[in-house]
Structure 1
Amino acid sequence: MRRYVTRGTVSLLAAVLGPLALCAVLLPFRDGLANTDVALLLVVVVVAVAALGRRLAGAVAAVSAAVWFGFFFTPPYERFTISKSSDLTTAVLLLAVGLAVSQLAAHARRMRVIAITDADYLARIHDTAVLARSTNSAIAVVDQVREQLIDLLRLRNCRFEYGSLIGHPPRLEHDGSVVVGRRPWDADRLGFPEQDVELRMFGNGKYIGRFMLEPTPGAVPSRQARLVAVTLADQAGAVLDSLQHPANTA
């Protein structure tokens, strides 16, 4: 968390001070530079901030670039006013382009994270499938899935209860939703409830057991992660059922 806050703070500082620093560097050459050239250089700063920071940082950098452009490079100088319509148009375009670029950079970064995450999810499912084909030990499969669930859902702990349905704890459903009693729980916003959550395991349609998930306070696993968790439990259930009833695999 400390690293995240630090990076966010640094990116916001860069968003505010980066355009100002560039304007200070260019100020001695103001008479020989076209305002459009200055605006393009400021867009480069906005792109850099948006690529390294979050969407908010990119937006702040766009606003900062437009403000300092108007202050230093449009007459009357060193005042927050713009007298020429052409300079006003350039400042507005600088702001619009900067905001658009910051959105595109944030979207590209999000797509990259999703691609990496998807690859990780597929690897987990693949690893469990490989183990399921290569072992005759139900314990090995259950232990691997249990460890996968801890990492995938950022749990404090996870245990497996074979054939037990004691009590009515919150439940992670097969569509990735969470219910507490009979009421839906907003897991996308709140994460898991502050108590153990059950993930039931079935084999060939029959209940076999359940993983009891011990959530980490503050962690909010995505719906995609929860769906992968359900898939892993289904894989383990199929393996346990096949080992209990070998004829089913013939």
Structure 2
Amino acid sequence: MSTVTGIWKQHRGGSRAAPRTWSPRDRLALTAGLAAPFLVALVLVPFRTSLSHTNAALILVVAVVAVAAFGSRTAGMVAALSAAAWYDFFLTRPYETFDITASADIETAVLLLAVGLIVSQLAARARRLQLLTVTDAAYLARIHRTADLVQSENSADTVVDHVRGELTDLLGLRACRFEYGTLMGRPPRLENDGSVTAGRRTWNPDTDGWPEGETELRAYGNGHYLGRFMLTPGPGPVPSLQARLVAVTLADQTGAVLDTAGPVRG
């Protein structure tokens, strides 16, 4: 229960983000943020004498929203800046310069930039919340699958094998094995709060990465140590704090079934 509460607190409070890595989608969105407003403004050039500047600005805002919805907040901000610049260059007098002589045009350009930045923030936030919901549903599905297996399966080995697979996929591990009732050596340990301790040092995987070698994740039943998963990190990014808290929950479920299964293998 404490782990589930930790996941909920993480939803509410957030955590310090890991260093940003740019995916192909992010790079494409940034390119679109630069290019889309330019292309839209270019299309509007033949109509710039008949189209009101307000309508032209609204059309460019649509382009900004599209980029922000597809990509990231950064891409939306780039699109807003690009929209304001190309609105000035193509659609205000004197044309094809970055000078604006009419005060009304200056106000429209400033409003375009401000509105573009605001809607890009909103669109990116909506996309992030949608992704978070999908991710949370996947996490909960793992917990529910394991809970169902714990209730229906008499074999502790079957549950252990299932959780090994879940942990490998959840944390992007290269390997995962389980040691029954053994405490040898002092490898780094994944703690209940999602941090990692290595000796006397506490690691924050979000900023420090995983320690080298295997990291243990212990399974307890009624407060008694019953075994541990040995996690070998994969080459991908460090799993999020939410994922690590779910991993702790899965280990707790394993400990519960080991506790009811009787003596463990030694």
Bucket of the pairwise TM-score, normalised by the shorter protein: over 0.9
Distance 1:244 1:114 in 2: 39
User: 1:113 Cα shift?
Assistant: 1.1
User: 1:94 Cα shift?
Assistant: 0.5
Task: Determine if contact 1:191/1:221 at 8 Å carries over to the other structure.
Answer: no
Distance 2:41 2:237 in 1: 42
Distance 1:108 1:202 in 2: 39
Please give the secondary structure, in 2, of the residue aligned with 1:82.
coil
Task: Determine if contact 1:169/1:197 at 8 Å carries over to the other structure.
Answer: yes
> What letter is aligned with 1:45?
A
Per-residue CA deviations over 1:58-97 (Å, capped at 9, x if unaligned) read 1111001000001111111111111111111110110111
Distance 1:32 1:88 in 2: 19
Residue in 1 that maps onto 2:209: 191
Residue in 1 that maps onto 2:9: none
Give the alignment partner of residue 132 of structure 1, picking from 135, 139, 150.
150
Root mean square deviation of aligned Cα: 1.3
Q: Unaligned 5+ residue runs, structure 1?
A: 246-250
Give the alignment partner of residue 167 of structure 2, picking from 135, 149, 155.
149
Distance 1:189 1:112 in 2: 25
Give the alignment partner of residue 80 of structure 2, picking from 62, 83, 91.
62
Greater relative contact order (Cα < 8 A, sep 6+)? 2
> What letter is aligned with 1:110?
R
Distance 2:186 2:235 in 1: 21
Q: Unaligned 5+ residue runs, structure 2?
A: 1-21
Give the alignment partner of residue 32 of structure 1, picking from 50, 67, 82.
50
Per-residue CA deviations over 1:141-161 (Å, capped at 9, x if unaligned) read 000011100011111110000
**Number of positions where the alignment pairs a residue of Structure 1 with one of Structure 2:** 242
* Counterpart check, 1:234 vs 2:220: no
* Counterpart check, 1:201 vs 2:219: yes
Taking every aligned residue pair, what percent have the same amino acid on both sides?
62
Distance 2:67 2:173 in 1: 34
Residue in 1 that maps onto 2:101: 83
Distance 2:94 2:255 in 1: 74
Distance 1:167 1:158 in 2: 17
Please give the secondary structure, in 2, of the residue aligned with 1:77.
coil
Q: Which piece of structure 1 moves more, 190-199 or 202-211?
A: 190-199
Q: Hey, which bits of structure 1, 4+ residues long, moved more than 6 A? A: none
TM, length-normalised to structure 2: 0.88
TM, length-normalised to structure 1: 0.93
Residue in 1 that maps onto 2:5: none
Distance 2:147 2:235 in 1: 31
